[in-house]
Every structure is written in C-alpha cells, then in structure tokens.
Amino acid sequence: MTTRLVSRARIGAVSVLALLLAGCGIRATEVPTNFGPAPSRVRCSLAEPDVSTQAARGLPVQVFLLCGSSLVTVDRTVRVPDGAADSARRMLVAQGLLNQLAAPPSPAEKEAGYSTDVRGGITVGGPRAGDPEDTLRLSTAPDSLTSYALAQIVCTFSDSAAAEGDGSVVLGGPGSGSPRRYACTDEVRARPGSKEPPSKDAAGE
C-alpha cells in the first residue's frame, strides 16, 4: 500500500512539473540539454545598414566575407574623388575593395560569425602591355593566395565597378605571367574552401 502511494505521488509530481514547463513555453524532454546562453545575434545575419549614411561617407559597395563555410556579402563604402577618370576610378574602387576585405570585421560582424582571409598590404594596378584592358594586377600572385582569400577577392571584384559586370574578373600577379580570367560561381560562394574560382588564360582576349 505504501509503495503504491509513493508511486502515485511521484507520478503526480512529474505531471505538475510538465504542466509548469508547458505553461512557461518550454517543451519537456527526456534528454538533458546544455547549450549554454542563447546567442545575442543570429549567425550570419546583420541588421540592415543605413544606406543614406553610407552614401554620405563614400561610394556604397559590397564585399564578400566568410561566415561558416560560405561567402556572404556585407555593405561597405570606398572613397572615390569626384571627377576621377574612368581608369583611375576603377583602380581606386579596386584598391578600396581590397582594403575593405583586409580590414578586421566590426564587433557586430564578429559576433555574427564573420571573418576574412584576405591579408593587409595587397595593392592593385592596371594592365601591362599585352594584357586585356580590364586586367587587375595584384602585388601578390593570385595562385599564392589561400582558396578562401582568392574566392573573396574574385567574387568581390566580379560584382563591382572594378570589373566588366559579367561575373568574372581578370587578375594577374606582379610577375610576367599571363593574367587569368576568374569567375565567381554559386559553388565558389557556397564552398570557397574546397572550390576555387574557375579560371582560364586571358592572354589575347
């Protein structure tokens, strides 16, 4: 008799606990969980930027940063003097994009999981004799960059005023080697660490 009373008391206590949890919006579970404190920001998600404020600081652009295992765009600005000739403007935009890629993510971006593999100090110049006119020559050879950094640069350039707007960009290095035309594809954006931007020799284009 005593055993039955104890069992019924235990069942009643469990039922009350389940009702209390349901009332608090918490689903009862048989598996213990301990995920730590809830994140304060959704991963790879940022608040909408103030475009009007950005425009006042410079030319609005987008650059590709790393988040998780993929590339995602974030809004930035680059400064381009009024009246700059088209060729000079293109170089200024390209250098500004490189600088933004190399800059450490903001505290909000770090909190959301953003990072960059592009290192500071890379400069960009125009084509040499024999190069396609839209060539961008980097001070670091593209094939010496990590696959992540190359994907960031290719996708950022190909989607900007620094390129021709066809989803590709012609990049060369500081040496005498021929530049190559790189494309930013869905596969590259999804898996920059294992899928390098496809490219082909751009000599003679």
Q: Does residue 63 surpass a pLDDT of 90? A: yes
Q: Is the pLDDT reported for residue 127 higher than 50?
A: yes
Question: What is the rounded average pLDDT of the residues 96-124?
Answer: 95
Q: Which pLDDT score, from 0 to 100, does residue 74 have? A: 93
In what order do the strands lie in the sheet containing 59-67? 70-78, 59-67, 114-115
pLDDT at 30: 42
Give one word for 194, left, alpha or beta, with left for phi > 0 and alpha for psi -120 to 50: alpha
Q: Confirm if 61 and 78 have CB atoms less than 8 A apart.
A: yes
pLDDT per residue over 141-182, tens digit each?
999 999 999 999 999 999 898 887 788 999 999 988 999 999
Check residue 53 and give its pLDDT.
38
pLDDT at residue 4 greater than cutoff 80: no
User: Higher confidence at residue 78 or residue 34?
Assistant: 78
- Reduced to 3 states (helix: H, G, I; strand: E, B; else coil), residue 152 is helix
pLDDT(52) > 50: no
Full strand arrangement of the beta sheet holding 168-172: 124-125, 135-138, 168-172, 180-183, 199-201
Is residue 92 predicted with pLDDT exceeding 80? yes
Q: In whole angstroms, what is the distance from residue 171 CA to residue 199 CA? A: 10
Angle at 33 between CA 32 and CA 39, to 5 degrees: 170
Q: At which residue do the structure tokens 């999804």 appear?
A: 190
Instruction: State the average pLDDT for the chain.
Output: 79
At residue 16, the pLDDT reads 40
Asked if pLDDT for residue 6 goes beyond 60, the answer is no
pTM of the model: 0.75
Instruction: Grade residue 47 by pLDDT with cuts at 50, 70 and 90.
Output: low
Identify the pLDDT of residue 148: 97
